[in-house]
Amino acid sequence: MIEVKDLQFSYNKNEFIKEINFKVEKGMIFGFLGPSGAGKSTLQKILTGLITNYKGHAIVNGVECKHHTNIFYENIGVDFEFPTLYEKLTARENLKFFASLYTHQTRSIDQLLESVGLQNDADKKVSDYSKGMKSRLNFIKALINDPDILFLDEPTSGLDPTNSRMMKDLILLEKTRVK
């Protein structure tokens, strides 16, 4: 589902993504480990089509990322490093809005909220959410379009042990849903 060949990238002259090669097959959970500043988030930006001036190949779902069209986003889900939610909207309004961006059937908002224990806070504004609640909402936002590939950037960062365990269990559960 993902193939990276001889990938190179730099924001300036200091190339920090150098000749990276790897493949990720369907149903795999694949993680990048590296110190702060190593380029993990940058690599995710390349694989999700946000950075296009790379050298080499980054192929996702059969598409060279730099040549993606809008259809590319129908089948991927992205949980960014920092929550990307509308603070003045409620959790439910956020999910409804993001679901409306897709052309195909999206997942049940109520079921997703329940899966991360946010069913009783669904109608609360995101500005009134705690950090862990925002992380959980950001995660289910990435699942709303029932994506074939899920990109997660440090999904357990800043979570307490209970929420961190819940997030890992949810990731494993998504693996079992592979079509």
Q: Which residues sit at the interface with ligand ATP, rule CB under 6 A?
A: 11, 16, 34, 36-42, 81
H or E stretch at 111? helix 109-115
Q: Which partner from the list ligand ATP, Mg ion, none does 37 bind, CB cut-off 5 to 8 Å by kind?
A: ligand ATP
Q: Which residue is nearest to Mg ion (CB)?
A: 41
Q: Does 156 bind Mg ion (CB under 5 A)?
A: no
Residue 41, interface with Mg ion (CB under 5 A)? yes
CB of 144 to ligand ATP, least distance (A): 24
Backbone angles phi, psi at 27, to 5 degrees: 85, 0
CB of 162 to ligand ATP, least distance (A): 23
Least Å from the CB of residue 41 to Mg ion: 3
Q: Judging by DSSP bridges, how do beta strands 76-79 and 149-152 pair with one another?
A: parallel
User: Site residues for Mg ion, window 79-98 (CB under 5 A)?
Assistant: 81
- The count of other CB atoms within 10 Å of the CB of residue 70 is 9
Distance from C-alpha of 86 to C-alpha of 97, rounded to nearest angstrom? 10
Residue 161, contacted partner among Mg ion, ligand ATP, none, CB below 5-8 A by kind: none
Interface with Mg ion (CB under 5 A), residue total 3
CB closer to Mg ion out of 40 and 136: 40
Taking phi over 0 as left and psi of -120 to 50 as alpha, with beta for the rest, 63 belongs to beta
SS3 state at 175: helix
Q: Which residues contact 3 (CB under 8 A, 6 or more apart)?
A: 23, 24, 57, 58, 59
Residue (of 88, 66, 62) closest to 75 by Cα position: 62
Residue 36 touches which of ligand ATP, Mg ion, none (Cβ within 5-8 Å per kind): ligand ATP
**Could you say which of ligand ATP, Mg ion, none residue 61 binds, taking C-beta under 5 to 8 angstroms by partner kind?**
none
d(CA 25, CA 64): 16
- Which of these ranges, 77-85, 94-102, 117-125, 143-151, lies near Mg ion under the rule CB under 5 A? 77-85
Secondary structure class of 160 (helix, strand, coil)? coil
Residue ranges that bind Mg ion, judged by CB under 5 A: 40-41, 81
